[in-house]
Amino acid sequence: MPYSTTLLRMCVVGDVAVGKTSLTARFMNGTFCDMYKPTCLVSYFHKLVQTPDRNVFLQIWDTAGQERHRSLSPHIVRDSRSAMLVYDVTNRTSYEEVKRYWLGWIAEHAPPGIRLTLVGNKSDLDARSNLRQVSRKEAKRYAEANGMLFYETSAKTGKNVDVAFLDGGSFPMLKRTRTKSTRKPTHLAKSVL
Ligand X SMILES: Nc1nc2c(ncn2[C@@H]2O[C@H](COP(=O)(O)OP(=O)(O)O)[C@@H](O)[C@H]2O)c(=O)[nH]1
**Site residues for ligand X per CB under 6 A:** 16-22, 33-34, 36, 39, 121-122, 124-125, 154-156
- Contact partner, 16, from Mg ion, ligand X, none, Cβ < 5-8 Å per class: ligand X
d(CA 107, CA 104): 5
- Contact partner, 154, from ligand X, Mg ion, none, Cβ < 5-8 Å per class: ligand X
Cβ 103 to Mg ion shortest distance, Å = 19
- Contact partner, 36, from Mg ion, ligand X, none, Cβ < 5-8 Å per class: ligand X
d(CA 176, CA 150): 20
Structural contact between residues 170 and 115, judged by C-beta atoms closer than 8 angstroms? yes
Residues 25 to 44: which contact Mg ion by CB under 5 A? Answer: 39
The nearer residue to ligand X, 160 or 177, going by C-beta atoms, is 160
- Contact partner, 91, from Mg ion, ligand X, none, Cβ < 5-8 Å per class: none
- In sequence order, the β-bridge partners of residue 88 are 121
The nearer residue to Mg ion, 20 or 26, going by C-beta atoms, is 20
The nearer residue to ligand X, 125 or 173, going by C-beta atoms, is 125
Structural contact between residues 133 and 90, judged by C-beta atoms closer than 8 angstroms? yes
The nearer residue to ligand X, 80 or 154, going by C-beta atoms, is 154
Structural contact between residues 48 and 186, judged by C-beta atoms closer than 8 angstroms? yes
Cβ 21 to Mg ion shortest distance, Å = 3
- In sequence order, the β-bridge partners of residue 10 are 60, 82
CA distances (Å), 17 to each of 25, 86, 156, in order? 14, 10, 13
